[in-house]
Structure 1
């Protein structure tokens, strides 16, 4: 049995190797195995790969980018020769670059391929890239790397929306003549050709079909002698799928390095180092490996718009805070307004009460003054009449006795005069007593009486509280007084002081209350006009005369103020204030002193 197995094993291995070797080595590509096929550079590249994979036969397949991706993903390709876009698009499938091509006009493998946008030279509508907006573009294939994609990337880099820039795009295939014909016939406004197309034609001595065209968005690259409208990207790359063995890879690399010595001048296979331009193209256009950017997850959406989200959240929180604050302020202002209305009503009621008290007191004072004046004016004549009547009676009685004459009728008449005079004198005394009146006195805090008067003063005359500066002692000073009469007296002094202050440069009133030797010392002065000694003496003299009512307003004469102060066992005096105006000083005994008295 062992001999049988040892005999068949070599035969089986030989049969298996023949099957493997009989399978072709498939090379897939697009432009390189298509448009470039037949060129000396392409043929020598295929020959070098054939040497590396011998005895397997090389078979080349040309397809579009979709067929290329299918062959790579289904592991149908043993090797891929295509643009760098195919490499970066399929890097997730394990595809890796080995070598990248150069060209005579583009010696840097990282910057070889690009696109040129042409328009008719006589077209006076289009001179820049922005003039192409809304126009019709003619290019090779949809989604082609050297054609549509590089142009869309340039539009994106210049700030335009690449997918809504052209009104229409016509895909005219790889035949350059078809694109040139469409431009000449006016079916398109601009066409896209490969970079270095015109320069290569001129280098070969062939006619340049772009002579009657004009380049749009012309760029001069330090990496190439060709004019382009887009950046230059890496050239064709030899791409290795993950299932190709290392030995074959090394052989291919070695043979291509040898082939570089026999390649046409300027064509070589070199190692490229920078494919970021391709990655940026796919990322910005959101296609290929970055197509997922068009369908974002919640996390990606949040990451992208988190700043706007936080701004919106802050705005919402601010709106809520603002609404709550406004509601609170409206309620507080409404309550304050209601309280103001209530205080205004209370002040009106208090003003009416004060005014009623004043009117009653004024009427009483007027009657009292009138009664006092009548009693004063009649008391002396009545006393004289009584004296004369008594003297006449005595004289008639003596004459009657001495002369023995009957004066009975005259004596009766004189007696009647005396009786009537006595009667009239008693009436005058009653009037005088009525005029004096009797006020109800109580123990009161002079601080509170004056404080209440100040509040009523502001309310009654609707004045700014800044016009009055007052200072009251911290300790209450009690006096035995009629608070109503005392308030009216202080109110009158404040009103007179306010009127005087209005005549000065500034309007301000000063009030102080202090305790001195068991007496309350109230002093009021203002910023009114300065007074002379003569004027001060005239005011003092006025208060010594009988009381008079001032004309106009609600003010009481200083004489009545003096009578109120006198009723409370106080004194009133006048002096020149530190500012040179009139100062009124009222002294009232404390309740302790009154009580002792």
Structure 2
């Protein structure tokens, strides 16, 4: 290969490297799709659309610009789905879609309508031989129009009715929509298929000469006064508008506005900026549609017209419900009488049961008193017998001439001892009815917990798994029997809770350890989660989670723990269950 060939090849490769990023960038840029609604009543509008397309293609390239004429229903779907970048439509459609995120950018202006804020409206048309002279004469008549969303051909006309205080939905006896263009609308009116029609203003002037049948055989109702290029029955509204779709970037919208504002400065039709859409907004506000669609349901008349069948059906249903309610009331009153009699019998049985229960408790009390009396009589027999013997002995000593004072003194001392013995017996019996202070001693809490576990396992009332983690050397100053009773009570409560919840694999964990000068004895179970209300109610007197419980078990435990200077705490488990914690102060090492 020659040097010249190598140089050409190198230059070619360099050009490819330089062009590839530009080609890739161009391929990645999205297509600018512009949708246009059909039905432009001015034929010259085609020219401004053509100039618009030509200006955008010159700036962005033909491959990136697409213009499509789309039916208004399909156009709104494509705009909301972001399949279009921009759309050209009537000012009414542009403004109507503002609540969907669109934005008007530019508006057409011309030498005929130099102000983009004021251009077209609607005309009410009737046959020339019809008796209708005013809009009010059309009440209850038939109307033909192109489409419901056609702004200049229908919506603006209905806005005129609303501005005069009429309800456009109920004004005509029938509304016919052809969706075939304004030419078909006028032909239908001339054939007598309707009493009146609505078409855009300037449609007659732009499409038919003055002597054409469509002009001579038709008459415009109530044309507005003033010098205007075309007659109209409504106020005028802004011209056709270019709007941006919600998904279009602000940079692209600004660039398109700059191009179009500079492209057609010398043309008969050109793009400008409308600054006043208040007439369109006022129209939609009166009609309660477009961005004001939310207002539609707030008038009683409109609500009745729209939902009358449902209201009547609801009223019929209410009547049926009232009749059914009367029948139910009769049946309920009869059943209530039967239940009242049954309840009376039930109350009598409850009274009898309460009397039996009261008698049973009385018998229990009598039995308890009898047992205590027997105990006292049995225990006091010996000291009383001894006292009697000593008294008789003293009497005999006093009768003897050689009365021994020392023997009498010894007998009196023995009598005093027997008297103290009798008092101790009485105090012992009273301890059954009144709790006496516990006998505290120095002990190891770990041994107490182990003893309670041994007793709990030996009773056989729990069939699940019991785990223990007891730390040695936990010195406390306490009553061994009371602490054991408290721990045993917590173990039994955990077992009863697991049994009541029917936990599949019941498990109880018992632990004892020391933290920061305190001994912590923890009894935990894996039962169901407790609500905050139940957790706060634990330990409340006379409240129990067991059907037959008295609600005194945890109260007893709390009393024992607090008498030892400790605390009883309850903690809900992270995955369910409950942990009861006894906190006792440890003895300080001397």
TM-score (norm. length: structure 1): 0.44
TM-score (norm. length: structure 2): 0.44
For the pair shown, the structure with the greater C-alpha radius of gyration is 1
